[in-house]
Structure 1
Amino acid sequence: MPGRPGLLVLMGSGETSPTMVETHRRVVRALGAAPRAVLLDTPYAFQENAADISARARAYFSRSVGLRVEAGAAVAGADWVFSGPGSPTYALERWARTSVAGDLRARVRSREGATVLASAAACTAGVATVPVYEIYKVGAEPYWGEGLDLLAPLGLRVVMIPHFDNAEGGTHDTRFCYLGERRLALMEPMLPEGTAVLGIDEHTALVVDLRGERVRVEGRGAVTVRLPGSRAVLPAGTRTDLDELRRLARGAGGRPVPVAGRAAGPPEVTLAEVARECAGRFERALTGRDSAGATRAVLDLEAAIALWAADTEEDEGGVERARETLRGLVAELGEAAGAWWAGDLVDGLLTLRTRLRQHGDYRVADGLREALRSAGVLVEDTPDGPRWTRSG
């Protein structure tokens, strides 16, 4: 590992989604050929689907980034280390019992290798940690847990808050990693004096070049440096240095932060936004009896779900909520096929069913076949592909 670049990457969310692919690729390219890559699964290890999350993450990095990742391997000596969603406090408790906590600190202190922490794992990087599960899901009174304080060697006394711009709550405030303004305002005075909040929006990354002490913000949101009575916002595209970030974290005004143009590549929308857009197009097409437009909207949503299939986060319900939307559109389209008797509509639905089966989404594919049957369209699978006939 000596001689390799030193990078610390902190992500607000979207760490295994299309929005962060280009960031991951740039980091991995900087490490040279065949870096040793390790996935720390600790934050979600308590979940029943932990093995599935790891498999999806490894598939994402292999397919989208060209990186072969070992799950649960030793951190020491790794060129690239990644950890993501789950419970920050669960991870910290277990890392403290092993060498992992010390190994992560050593990586940043030595300024070698790439350390990528996202979502729950990003929470652990500061001097204190947000106990997300305990406060938001269990209802504990607001408090801070001890953090890894990975940024202390960089001269930054901060707490990390990913999901900073979260808006899932709708009628209630879920910003600031689900704390909301009321709880965060209660918690800020509990922090050690001189500690700033470093907030990272969803689908956004703060990339720190540890050796060159350069900083950039990538993705679709912003990084916020918040202190009582003040805040500084660094939008995506910002390129500055660690000295400027230190000044902002101390509440001192510095030189204007330069903003560069965003690099091409990362999608500017999330899966939830794609689902809403496709559903809107679908309803307009259905109202106008535009069978081709309705079918195209459903096919576009299915393609987006396939693209986001590796996403291990649950922003706005994640992939499963998009699948629920898809199932609803499929049911409506099946009813329309029976009402309109449009052959091109049925053909489009069979194309969709084939794609669903290819992607392993048999539940929706079977639901589509049932919707067609209820509408009077019988589907027969043959060696030459599916065929349909009108019943009755």
Structure 2
Amino acid sequence: MVKVTQPVDSAHLPPKVRELLLARKTARDKHDFALSDQLRTQIATLGYLVNDQGDDSAVLKLGDKDTKPAKNFLLLFGSGEIAKSSVDIYRRACLTFNKRDLRISLITTPAGFQPNVASVYGEIKEFLLTSLPDFNLTVDIVMANTHQDASSPALVSRLSGADIILLGPGSPTYAAKHLKNTPLLDKIIELVKNGSTLILASAATLAFSRYTLPVYEIYKVGEELHWLDGLDVFTQLFAPLTIIPHYNNTEGGSGLDTSFCFMGQGRGTQLLSLLPPSTPIIGLDEHTALLIDLVTHNQTIHGKGTIHDLTYSKNRI
């Protein structure tokens, strides 16, 4: 299990904590791990968490909910945001925040049309609480299911102080329609620009893109191939990206190509040709995440798959 790390300079530790740390180091050197664990518990009662790193130990100050995260990210999931394979992705990101008390706002808009929307986001909440036991999480499900909800000052105020904002499955076009030109979307962007981390999965990655794909409308209803304007949030935070989640989807089996977010490669190629040349597009595999540092713009890929540069050029096709 990955442990929380937030080194605190020993000069800033209370004398009693330093004394217990020294005693614990002696116990560890003697391989008296039972005593070491007892001393660790005593240190925790004084408001500090010990994280062992090889022969050294780091200390995390508890009760740091008002501390600004040391880093902030854009974390994009192609799918699998509550799969076992994603646990380490969340943990690795959270470890870099250098704080244990984390406030998470789950925004339900993408699935706001579903009768079971509360259950969908309740499952995400339970997953986070179970998967991140080393952190003291406060998880708030913000039921912003309509444009009216997303325009409510009382609802928007609930995001204040959020370290992490997460939107997930549902319909990308529904999410874009009901978040567009709302105080809630403005608040999300404001928070992320000021240090919060934005996590988007599945439909939400498309909704926040430069262009969004009407997945249900084409795949289920049979509408002509087309794109709609997305919320274009990535342009304000990083770059004018369009993300295609579920890129290597195989739910259709051998009889139906459901890659390219259920469109299939044939229709996917046609869809790409409808966009302006050189539009930046990234395909994101199932159970795969793209982690973007919003300060350094460093990008890393995590999970079972990879990403695909789908940027369309008339000279390439």
Report the TM-score, using the length of structure 2 for normalisation: 0.68
Q: Deviations along 1:323-377, whole A, 9 cap, x unmatched?
A: xxxxxxxxxxxxxxxxxxxxxxxxxxxxxxxxxxxxxxxxxxxxxxxxxxxxxxx
For 2:110, the equivalent position in structure 1 comes to: 43
Once residues 217 and 131 of structure 1 are traced to their aligned partners in structure 2, the CA distance between those partners, rounded to angstroms, is 26
Structure 1 residues 76 and 129, CA gap change in structure 2 (3 angstroms) = farther
Q: Report the alpha carbon displacement of residue 140 of structure 1 after superposing the two structures with TM.
A: 1.0
**What is the one-letter code of the residue matched to 1:14?**
G
List aligned pairs for 1:92-131, cutoff 5 A: 92-108=176-192, 110=193, 112-131=195-214
Q: Report the alpha carbon displacement of residue 9 of structure 1 after superposing the two structures with TM.
A: 0.2
Once residues 107 and 69 of structure 2 are traced to their aligned partners in structure 1, the CA distance between those partners, rounded to angstroms, is 24
Structure 1 residues 93 and 229, CA gap change in structure 2 (3 angstroms) = closer
Matched, 1:17 2:83: yes
Identity level (%): 35
For 2:223, the equivalent position in structure 1 comes to: 140
Q: Report the alpha carbon displacement of residue 149 of structure 1 after superposing the two structures with TM.
A: 1.7
Once residues 80 and 196 of structure 1 are traced to their aligned partners in structure 2, the CA distance between those partners, rounded to angstroms, is 26
Matched, 1:173 2:243: no
Q: Report the alpha carbon displacement of residue 151 of structure 1 after superposing the two structures with TM.
A: 2.2
Structure 1 residues 14 and 106, CA gap change in structure 2 (3 angstroms) = same
Matched, 1:190 2:190: no
Q: Report the alpha carbon displacement of residue 77 of structure 1 after superposing the two structures with TM.
A: 3.6
Structure 1 residues 3 and 16, CA gap change in structure 2 (3 angstroms) = closer
**What is the one-letter code of the residue matched to 1:167?**
T
Once residues 182 and 280 of structure 2 are traced to their aligned partners in structure 1, the CA distance between those partners, rounded to angstroms, is 29
Once residues 84 and 141 of structure 1 are traced to their aligned partners in structure 2, the CA distance between those partners, rounded to angstroms, is 26
Residues 79 and 286 in structure 2, CA contact (< 8 A), matched pair in contact too: yes
**What is the one-letter code of the residue matched to 1:82?**
L
Residues 9 and 116 in structure 1, CA contact (< 8 A), matched pair in contact too: yes
Residues 9 and 208 in structure 1, CA contact (< 8 A), matched pair in contact too: yes
Once residues 192 and 152 of structure 1 are traced to their aligned partners in structure 2, the CA distance between those partners, rounded to angstroms, is 16
For 2:285, the equivalent position in structure 1 comes to: 201
Once residues 221 and 269 of structure 2 are traced to their aligned partners in structure 1, the CA distance between those partners, rounded to angstroms, is 19
Residues 7 and 208 in structure 1, CA contact (< 8 A), matched pair in contact too: yes
Residues 202 and 221 in structure 1, CA contact (< 8 A), matched pair in contact too: yes
Pick from 49, 64, 80 the counterpart of residue 164 of structure 2: 80
List aligned pairs for 1:362-373, cutoff 5 A: none
Pick from 167, 170, 173 the counterpart of residue 89 of structure 1: 173
For 1:257, the equivalent position in structure 2 comes to: none
Q: Deviations along 1:230-263, whole A, 9 cap, x unmatched?
A: 9xxxxxxxxxxxxxxxxxxxx9xxxxxxxxxxxx
Q: Report the alpha carbon displacement of residue 114 of structure 1 after superposing the two structures with TM.
A: 0.9
Matched, 1:34 2:117: no
Matched, 1:211 2:295: yes
For 1:362, the equivalent position in structure 2 comes to: none
Q: Report the alpha carbon displacement of residue 188 of structure 1 after superposing the two structures with TM.
A: 1.4
For 1:65, the equivalent position in structure 2 comes to: 132
**What is the one-letter code of the residue matched to 2:251?**
E
Q: Deviations along 1:207-235, whole A, 9 cap, x unmatched?
A: 011112211000000011112369xxxxx
Residues 172 and 204 in structure 2, CA contact (< 8 A), matched pair in contact too: yes
Structure 1 residues 153 and 47, CA gap change in structure 2 (3 angstroms) = closer
**What is the one-letter code of the residue matched to 2:77?**
M
Q: Report the alpha carbon displacement of residue 132 of structure 1 after superposing the two structures with TM.
A: 1.0
For 1:352, the equivalent position in structure 2 comes to: none
Matched, 1:7 2:90: no
Q: Report the alpha carbon displacement of residue 97 of structure 1 after superposing the two structures with TM.
A: 4.9
Structure 1 residues 184 and 61, CA gap change in structure 2 (3 angstroms) = same
Matched, 1:150 2:233: yes
Structure 1 residues 140 and 76, CA gap change in structure 2 (3 angstroms) = farther
Q: Deviations along 1:122-152, whole A, 9 cap, x unmatched?
A: 1122210111111111111111111122222
What SS class does the counterpart of residue 15 from structure 1 fall into?
Answer: coil
Q: Report the alpha carbon displacement of residue 26 of structure 1 after superposing the two structures with TM.
A: 1.6
Q: Report the alpha carbon displacement of residue 64 of structure 1 after superposing the two structures with TM.
A: 1.0
Once residues 240 and 121 of structure 2 are traced to their aligned partners in structure 1, the CA distance between those partners, rounded to angstroms, is 32
Bigger Rg over Cα = 1
Once residues 117 and 295 of structure 2 are traced to their aligned partners in structure 1, the CA distance between those partners, rounded to angstroms, is 35
Report the TM-score, using the length of structure 1 for normalisation: 0.55
Residues 290 and 300 in structure 2, CA contact (< 8 A), matched pair in contact too: yes
Once residues 75 and 190 of structure 1 are traced to their aligned partners in structure 2, the CA distance between those partners, rounded to angstroms, is 37
